[in-house]
Structure 1
Amino acid sequence: MSIALQYSHITVNDPDEALGFYRDALGLEVRNDVASGGFRWVTLGSPDQPGLEIVLSEPHAGRSQADGDTLQELLTKGVLPNIVFSVDDVDAAFEKVRASGAEVLQEPMDQPWGPRDCAFRDPSGNQVRMAKSRPA
């Protein structure tokens, strides 16, 4: 049996604002942009991993009002799960994202458990980490 991650969702307040971070600052490519029922989701991926994508969507997109409200509350609190990107040069990636104006949570550092990493908040408050790629 073969198994691989295909995509993961990131909840954002405003897909256009999020694109400024995920596409422009991180360098991901837009793969799909769909409007449906008054909401929108955008699928992005890395040119280095064609089969792996993230989906940016608003809290109420495809959810009940109550579920969307709950998700919005968690997003506002900044307590949704973080996402970690693997990069070959943490310091260069950090400088590129910092130059975009993103909120810095942690400058690049070597962690006691192994990787060199850094952290930011996206425009919606999600924690986004970048860690040194592991050797193949």
Structure 2
Amino acid sequence: MSVRRVVPNIRSEATEESREFYGLLGFEEVMNQGWIVTFASPTVPTAQVSVMTGDMTAPVTPDLSVEVDDVDAAYAEVRASGAEIVHPLQDEEWGVRRFFVRDPNGRVVNVLSHR
């Protein structure tokens, strides 16, 4: 299993202000689902920041997202470790398969693969 990207998720209602601020740093909006907006560097597309009002299908807002090449393998490994699964592995309507796990620092990590 390999990591494709890591994205910090900022819980906020200030999406327009965030768009303007991250634009000052050279980021461009690359995704807007209404409840989550992702900004990326046009020269390094995996350098990203997301701003979320809340998660659409999960009970909590994740602190960061980790995209892996095989989310099923990651899920099996995390479950075997005994880590707390916060949101079960499932396919989402916006084209990802994901689960949430709590890390040793209490942070919620969204682990995902694009379908």
Q: TM-score range by the shorter chain?
A: 0.3 to 0.5
TM-score, normalising length from structure 1? 0.37
**Larger Rg: 1 or 2?**
1
Q: Using structure 2 for the length normalisation, give the TM-score.
A: 0.44
